[in-house]
Chains A and B, each alone.
Chain A
Amino acid sequence: MHAGTLCIHDNILTFLLKFPAMLLQQLINGLTLGGVYALIALGYTMVYGILELINFAHGEIYMLGAYLGIIFLGLFTVIGLTSVSLPLALFFTVLLTIVVCSAYGFAMEKVAYKPLRNAPRLSPLISAIGISIFLQNYVMLTQGATDQVFPQRFGDSGLQFLNVSMTYLQALIIIVSGLLMLSLHLFIQKTRMGKAMRAVAQDKTMAALAGINVNGIISVTFIIGAGLAAMAGIMVASYYGLVNYYIGYIAGIKAFTAAVLGGIGNIPGAMVGGIILGLVESAGAAYISSEYKDAYAFIILIVILLIKPAGILGKNTEEKV
Chain B
Amino acid sequence: MLKLLSIHTSYGHIKALKDIDIEIAKGEIVCLIGSNGAGKTTTLLTISGILKPDSGDMIFEGESLKNMAPHNVVNKGICQVPEGRRIFPRLTVSENLEMGAYSIGKRQKTKGKQYNMEKVFNLFPVLKERTKQMGGTLSGGEQQMLAIGRALMANPKLLLLDEPSLGLAPIMVSKIFKTIKEINEEGVTILLVEQNAKAALRLSHRGYVLENGVIKLSGRGEDLLHNENVKKAYLGD
Does B74 touch A at the CB level, under 8 Å?
yes
User: Contact partner of B103 among A202, A203, A211, A214, CB < 8 A?
Assistant: A211
Q: Is the CB of A209 within 8 A of B91?
A: no
User: Contact partner of B88 among A202, A208, A213, A214, CB < 8 A?
Assistant: A202
Q: Is the CB of B91 within 8 A of A192?
A: no
Minimal Cβ-Cβ distance residue in B for A209: B80
How far apart are the CA atoms of A205 and B91 in the complex, in Å? 16
Minimal Cβ-Cβ distance residue in B for A202: B88
Does A198 touch B at the CB level, under 8 Å?
yes
Say how far A192's CB is from chain B's closest CB, in angstroms. Answer: 5
Contacts of A207 in B (CB 8 A): 88, 99
Does B27 touch A at the CB level, under 8 Å?
no
Say how far B156's CB is from chain A's closest CB, in angstroms. Answer: 10
How far apart are the CA atoms of A196 and B71 in the complex, in Å? 12
The 3 closest A-B pairs by CB, nearest first: A211-B103, A211-B74, A208-B70
Interface size class of B (residues with CB under 8 A): 20 to 34
Q: Is the CB of B74 within 8 A of A209?
A: yes
Does A212 touch B at the CB level, under 8 Å?
yes
Contacts of A9 in B (CB 8 A): none
Q: Is the CB of B90 within 8 A of A198?
A: yes
Does B102 touch A at the CB level, under 8 Å?
yes
Does B154 touch A at the CB level, under 8 Å?
yes
Report which B residues bind A (CB closer than 8 A). 48-50, 69-71, 74-75, 79-80, 82, 86, 88-91, 95, 98-100, 102-103, 105, 150, 154
0 or 1 for each of A195-228: is its CB under 8 Å from B? (1 = yes): 1101100110111111111110000000000000
Q: Of A196, A206, A211, A320, which is in contact with the most chain B CB atoms at under 10 Å from its CB?
A: A211
Report which A residues bind B (CB closer than 8 A). 192, 195-196, 198-199, 202-203, 205-215, 320
Minimal Cβ-Cβ distance residue in B for A320: B90
Q: A206-B86, A210-B150, A213-B69 are in contact. List 9 more A-B contacts (CB 8 A).
A: A198-B91, A199-B88, A199-B91, A202-B88, A202-B89, A210-B102, A212-B102, A214-B71, A215-B69
Q: Is the CB of B82 within 8 A of A209?
A: yes
How far apart are the CA atoms of A206 and B81 in the complex, in Å? 9
Q: Is the CB of A209 within 8 A of B48?
A: yes
Q: Is the CB of B89 within 8 A of A210?
A: no
Minimal Cβ-Cβ distance residue in B for A192: B105
